[in-house]
Structure 1
């Protein structure tokens, strides 16, 4: 198997990986972006909050990004999935599901996060159409509408005041015990926020637009939108496999420039932060790329100095 030699292997082609590829391409580094083309936000019709791209579809965002990056011939795109990684700084070996092999001096994991299976009947049918996870991304479209918020415990006490900036017509469904204190229940009551602990039987919808949430106790909650807290896992097991430190929440531990505890390995975007926004991911990818480029240039400088 002939290996392709790279300066940087970028695993993941979302905003973080693409912005890193742009920066590294402009820095004249030989880069491959390895991505299977199945982003977590593929269910979303529109992405918001990204200056100059507000309301764009995720697929169109990627198309434009790849078109811009194609101006830099040292960057290639590999439609495949990285399945194994080994080696050390300066000589990492990466293999893909389709049998391609790469040897790379540095690695950037921009693998994002992925959802665990949605276990509420009917939620998959409305996810990305009228059910969302981030009000900063989708709250404007649901402003002043009656909403159901599926969340419990400490997350609920964070989310209730947050969502009130978009609408005061919302009901909490905790899908089981609410995990609240008496004081927290009283606080929600004072603000007129209904809270139902009964498990959710189903979400009824029409062409992806939620109509009502049906609880096991027979209660029905009419609504036109849902926000919920997803169960997330890192988009790839490869960071853990190469020895990267991982937080309890599943994020890769990085410094301010995306460097992990493993020499030569970086991470950026949703995989390395809980600030899951496209514009934040792109920013992290840019900083990580600059740090990687600086490291490569310094190593070459020192190597050339020793040869003089």
Structure 2
């Protein structure tokens, strides 16, 4: 494909889709390239998004794409981007299927990816009775006995947070807890049990957790789990183009998603550690405004 489009959007999650919507309405030509394997595909319901509370991720995408199709300048391609070359004004995007697309601007909405779940039985309950975000799923777990699989400063933070939904929870650090003495005392003050023994397995029935079994034989009954996932960036492409990253792999952007590389933007989970659907969508919208403003300015100035 030799046609030069305005924006190549890499990733079709909430950030990429909302960006495509805003750009389509701004009469910009857009190509959304997504391989169709979203991180939240194991999730039954998404929460906290006004008018879409409780919707499944697949239905969310279906509705979004149906609405975006009203804007003919937006196209969708199910493929994986493997390389990007070129510079601001003419980027060359090559996919796994051997296709090449050209775009003036780039938006990376590549999200994050979960590393393999190492705890025996966790994959069986992930998205059914084990979750990663209290704000997304805390309501469904309210007043229930929970196990928090987390360690270090994040353990204290998660304990404080989950206490808004239930006071019946136990911390399993799955090995050394990495807490400071002060943090242990604070958890003890609030009667939060902390178990250091490694987890042998999570016992469940049809995805619903029954208990957590530790290697020392301890059994911790629970009906839900909150755990801290291990994540990596959804794509190395931003870094390959020279985008600056934080220590955790998040792309560094300004308030409108602009990176340090001219013509390159990023939004959604790839550009923030606030992993919520509504946050990703809003960042996609802001990035689209930033991109559109840049394109308009370039067109305006070229005629001056």
TM-score of Structure 1 vs Structure 2, range by shorter chain: over 0.9
Aligned to 1:162: 161
Aligned to 2:27: 28
Q: How far off its partner does 1:180 sit?
A: 1.4
Aligned to 1:262: 261
Please list, as runs of the form range in 1=range in 2, the aligned pairs for 1:1-308 lying within 5 A after superposition.
Answer: 2-305=1-304
Distance 1:139 1:8 in 2: 37
Distance 1:4 1:55 in 2: 40
Name the SS of the counterpart of 2:303 in structure 1: helix
**Contact 1:4–1:101 (CA<8 Å) still a contact in 2?**
no
* Alignment TM-score, normalising by the size of structure 2: 0.99
Distance 1:296 1:182 in 2: 54
Q: Can you list the C-alpha shifts for 1:17-42, whole angstroms capped at 9, x where unaligned? A: 00000000001111000001110011
**Contact 1:107–1:266 (CA<8 Å) still a contact in 2?**
yes
Number of corresponding residues? 304
Distance 1:251 1:271 in 2: 5
Name the SS of the counterpart of 2:235 in structure 1: coil
Moved over 6 A (4+): none
Q: How far off its partner does 1:285 sit?
A: 0.5
After TM superposition, the structure 1 stretch with the greater mean CA deviation from structure 2, 20-29 or 179-188, is: 179-188
What is the alpha-carbon root mean square deviation over aligned residues? 0.7
Q: How far off its partner does 1:181 sit?
A: 2.1
Distance 2:260 2:225 in 1: 39
Distance 1:23 1:202 in 2: 46
**Contact 2:4–2:90 (CA<8 Å) still a contact in 1?**
no
Q: How far off its partner does 1:4 sit?
A: 4.1
Name the SS of the counterpart of 2:281 in structure 1: helix
Distance 2:57 2:275 in 1: 14
Q: Can you list the C-alpha shifts for 1:55-84, whole angstroms capped at 9, x where unaligned? A: 000000000000000000000000111111
Distance 2:55 2:110 in 1: 21
Distance 1:104 1:138 in 2: 38
Distance 2:233 2:141 in 1: 29
Name the SS of the counterpart of 2:290 in structure 1: helix
Distance 1:25 1:180 in 2: 49
Q: How far off its partner does 1:182 sit?
A: 2.2
Structure 2 unpaired stretches of 5+: none
Q: Can you list the C-alpha shifts for 1:66-123, whole angstroms capped at 9, x where unaligned? A: 0000000000000111111011000100001111110100000000001011100100
Q: Can you list the C-alpha shifts for 1:182-235, whole angstroms capped at 9, x where unaligned? A: 222222122111100000010010000001101011101010000000011111
**Contact 1:258–1:288 (CA<8 Å) still a contact in 2?**
yes
